[in-house]
Amino acid sequence: MRTIYSILIIILILASCSKKKTNSLNKVLESNDTSILKEKKIELDKELQKLNKQINQLNEKLESLNPDKKIPLITIYPIEEEIFTHYLELQGNVKTKQNVLIYPEVSGLLQKILVEKGQQVAKGQLLAVIDDGGMQQQLAQAEAMALLTKTTYDRQKRLWDQKIGSEIQYLQVETDYLTSKNLVEQLTKQLEKYKITAPFAGVIDDVIKDEGTIIAPGQGSEVFRIVNLDNMYVETDVPETYLKNVTKGKTVVVNFPILGTTINSKIRQAGNFINPSNRTFKIEVPVPNKSDNIKPNLTARLKINDYTNGEAILIPLSIISENAVGQQYVYAISGEVNKEKGTYGKAVQRLIAVGKTQGDRIEVLDGINVGDKIILEGARSVKNNQEVKIAHKDQKVK
């Protein structure tokens, strides 16, 4: 109070002096003497500098007497247990194990193509026929010969069963029959190679050769591409550091950015081989494709659940600071003291150990307990053991 009275007296004295100086200034102005006017201006400039200095001193004193001047206004973040699910985010490509090129097994003229591009086919369905070069006639002759030798064999066997005829004669007839029968089977199998059939049910994605083309087994002689879009999967490489956490059966969220589609799935297979060139292993994640929108080589984004903690402590990343030796810390409220103008407490530095990050929050493994109150807004403007004012929900931090 004494200081305030002193300030008021100074203000009254300044006001009184101001009146006298105003009268003196009027006389100077009335004199119309330039030398007197210049002297007066110099005098007033000096007084103005002195007054500005005194005003600054008064402002500093008034600010020092403000009880809330150096007490930061903060908000608090109550610590509670939460379920923390961490996801490893990777990118992969869609594949299917039923996406193959169909090659001919024999050389010859591509005589007839029986399907069109985009056509749905069943497993074993005939797709094309290759000119067999007269093998069908050879088979017909062999079948006729086999029928004759079988009739002869049946008759000779009945006689032999009755002990009629010689054993050599019977064995000769039996040999002729088995030889002709084997020839028919061989020609039938060989003739089947001149028919190109579907190895599995799917869609003819491409008809590569035209009718009348000479084809042969080997690279460059593919006739069809057939794809089954029902059994699709996403394959991706996972860094070896996640070998223990990314395993068969883990939950995966599969997103297709181009399609705007998200599918929940699980890891079907986790590879047992670490690629030495990039230190990764492969995983397969099946994806249903009822609408046939998912195509081979389509890009997919995977979120793999590699870690879950049902009793986790999570805090915002933005409130964590780091000291000179690399230790991370936050500020907690050590206690609260109710005063007339609000709730006050003391900021106490807490060293913490952190775990995995998800979004803008991070898991705290040590240094913070359930029930603690951590400084949220204002965390980077306080100091250790500094008194702070706690803003409640109906208050706004400026």
What is the residue type of 304?
I
pTM for the whole thing?
Answer: 0.56
* pLDDT at site 10: 58
Lowest average pLDDT, out of 154-163, 191-200, 212-221, goes to: 154-163
Residue 90 has pLDDT above 90, yes or no: yes
Q: Which residue in the block uniquely carries the two structure tokens 């100074």?
A: 10
CA pair distance 318, 359, nearest whole angstrom? 11
CA 244, CA 226: separation in Å to the nearest integer?
Answer: 37
Q: How much is the pLDDT for 396?
A: 38
pLDDT in tens, 228-261: 888 889 999 999 999 998 999 999 999 999 999 9
What are the distances in angstroms from CA 343 to CA 72, 81, 335, 337, 392? 12, 25, 10, 6, 8
Q: How far apart are the first and last CA of the chain?
A: 30
Dihedral of alpha carbons 308, 314, 317, 323, sign = negative
Higher local confidence (pLDDT), 396 or 362: 362
Res. 172: pLDDT tops 80:
yes
CA distance 261 to 289: 11
Rounded-to-integer distance, Cα 145 and Cα 141, Å: 6
Break the chain into its structural domains and give their ranges: 2-64, 73-83+311-390, 89-97+228-309, 99-226
99-226 shares the fold of 73-83+311-390: no
- According to DSSP, residue 201 is labeled S
Confidence of residue 397 (pLDDT cuts 50, 70, 90): very low
Write the CATH number of the domain with boundaries 89-97+228-309. Answer: 2.40.30.170
The fold for domain 99-226 equals OB fold (Dihydrolipoamide Acetyltransferase, E2P) (2.40.50)
pLDDT tens profile 284-340: 999 988 888 898 899 999 999 888 898 999 999 999 999 889 899 999 988 665 555
Architecture per CATH, 73-83+311-390: Beta Barrel (2.40)
What is the spatial distance between Cα 138 and Cα 190, in angstroms, rounded to a whole number? 11
Burial-class residue 68 by CB neighbours within 10 Å (0-12, 13-18, 19+): exposed
Q: How does DSSP classify residue 370?
A: T
